[in-house]
Structure 1
């Protein structure tokens, strides 16, 4: 018997190498052929590219709608640069009793020195129950004692101050900020320090008529009421020349950016204008230590040059609104009348008769409402 040997593909020779994969291409109606691997080349030092929202146009023939990127949020304006060390801190003060004791010690020292020098009158010595002095007059030692006692009395009594509720002192020495005194009662403050009184109570300011504009760009005059207070006395007094003038200018600048509606506008518009004004002014004055609680328009009127024209325009708008309201009421009445007549079977109308009835009822209702008023 002859044996046949079966040959398999493995025994015929080495395995065939797979054919290389075809290069993938990107191709559409608007682009040429671009190899895919060229879009993802590995750079030796890749540079990070920040991604930004963009608008991608629609490709022809695909039905794809353009994708709109989200608008970037408005950035808050940076606060004006000020000295970072200029922050309110409490000043070093002593109770008023210390100043009183120092002043009394100075007076007592002056009397004792006078008795020592023999310059104290006998009546004063007798009243103070002091023995007779054998001094022959003031000498160098007595004059030095006089100087020390006088300096002690001046420093003791000269540093006395009365702190009141809602008031504060910004104190400084040789142009340098030394602290703020907010304590109340009798206090002793170094008499060499310069004191500047600041009102830290809740305050309100009613402005004069300021120029502004409404939502349509028409010039208006606005009177605002600002409720505010001083939060950081150091920045308010030393950060600007006059913090009250700075507050007024910030309010005027905010009115130039926020539209203010006249009293006849919607209530929501007035509330949004008040909120926007308060937010803008509070952000502007926060850097100088002021705290604004509300900026509320209390009187809004058109400027004199446009007041007559806007008055006529508002009257015309009111007439149009009243006319539209009256016409809607008439149409509803006619529709209700015709519907009731036909649904109850009182009349049977064809299209021509229905039109005639509607016309007659409309004329009748309009005439009646015109005679009786709105």
Structure 2
């Protein structure tokens, strides 16, 4: 791609994204809000009383005075109703993203009854810790073997403005990005038997989880989401190759056990021959030594109990 076309693509991408950061809107705590609420209620009662008095004056023939009182009381009630929009209740673990005629003016993070700018409307955004488990994905590992893998993602909203305005639905967004990152990370590691400098999915779970958390965090940063932890919850070979891989693992275990058995048997035979020679119990020539070594290895390495054969004669007859 030419450099100019690349720059144009990057500029278009920049314009397409919503670049906005959270800011704290002006607000007052529960104490001032309660006093203001009491004052507004008292003012509302006074204005209603003024309207009633004006209506009585108009009925008694004092038209001008009654009309003025009714007008003042009506305007006062409207003003009190408008100021009533300054009160808002925020529960613990939640915030309110406020807008004034479509413009983002800030986020309320105070809890309880709070005073906020009038004529604003907002959206509740939870900042509690959330978690979800991805679907069990079927992917190919680094060696091309199909594996089934799933992960648990623990996250929370860090920037409420980005979560609301930068993406359409941040909960669906993080689920899709987590599955995409899980699929990518799984393809960069072998399931088992890593080579030099490699980390396997089964043997390096902590390292893989850390790498997965970093990749998910990078993908959801534009939505103002923070990744707390990512852990692999399910990991297994796909059913179509699970039996073959199990046989391979069993064969490897049998080979490792045989190697250990043979190594131990050779060591025991060597010790037995040295003890016989050092104690002058019997003098063995090469043929008798070879026969004894063979017999001892058969006894020590056999899977089943050996049946001894008693030789009543000489080895050479």
Q: How does 1:128-139 map to 2 (within 5 A)?
A: 135=62
Deviation, 1:371, is 4.3
The equivalent position to 1:370 in structure 2, one of 304, 310, 316, is 304
Change (3 A) 1:169 1:362: same
Using the alignment, how far apart are the partners of 2:235 and 2:244 within structure 1?
16
Change (3 A) 1:297 1:358: same
Which has a greater percent of helix?
2
Unaligned residue ranges in structure 1 (runs of 5+): 1-79, 121-131
Question: TM (normalized to structure 1)?
Answer: 0.65
Using the alignment, how far apart are the partners of 2:280 and 2:207 within structure 1?
55
Deviation, 1:317, is 3.2
Per the alignment, residue 312 of structure 2 pairs with none
Using the alignment, how far apart are the partners of 1:339 and 1:134 within structure 2?
135
User: Is 2:49 the partner of 1:111?
Assistant: yes
Deviation, 1:167, is 0.6
The equivalent position to 2:89 in structure 1, one of 141, 162, 165, is 162
Per the alignment, residue 159 of structure 2 pairs with 232
Alpha carbons 1:212, 1:256 under 8 Å: kept:
yes
Q: How does 1:22-171 map to 2 (within 5 A)?
A: 81=14, 82-84=17-19, 86-95=20-29, 96-97=33-34, 98-118=36-56, 135=62, 140-171=67-98
Change (3 A) 1:339 1:155: farther
Per the alignment, residue 277 of structure 2 pairs with 342
Using the alignment, how far apart are the partners of 2:280 and 2:37 within structure 1?
105
| Deviation sequence 1:49-98 (CA, Å, 0-9, x none) | xxxxxxxxxxxxxxxxxxxxxxxxxxxxxxx85555x1111012234222
Q: Relative contact order (alpha carbons < 8 A, sep ≥ 6): 1 or 2 greater?
A: 2
Deviation, 1:216, is 2.4
| Deviation sequence 1:181-232 (CA, Å, 0-9, x none) | 0001111234522211111122222222123333422222222111111111
Question: TM (normalized to structure 2)?
Answer: 0.75
Alpha carbons 1:99, 1:159 under 8 Å: kept:
no
* SS state at 2:25 partner: coil
* SS state at 2:304 partner: helix
Using the alignment, how far apart are the partners of 1:309 and 1:212 within structure 2?
18
Aligned pairs, number? 280
Unaligned residue ranges in structure 2 (runs of 5+): 1-12, 194-199, 307-317
Change (3 A) 1:181 1:325: same
Larger radius of gyration: 1
* SS state at 1:370 partner: coil
Alpha carbons 1:99, 1:156 under 8 Å: kept:
no
RMSD: 3.2
Alpha carbons 2:143, 2:190 under 8 Å: kept:
no
User: Is 2:183 the partner of 1:256?
Assistant: yes
* SS state at 2:216 partner: helix
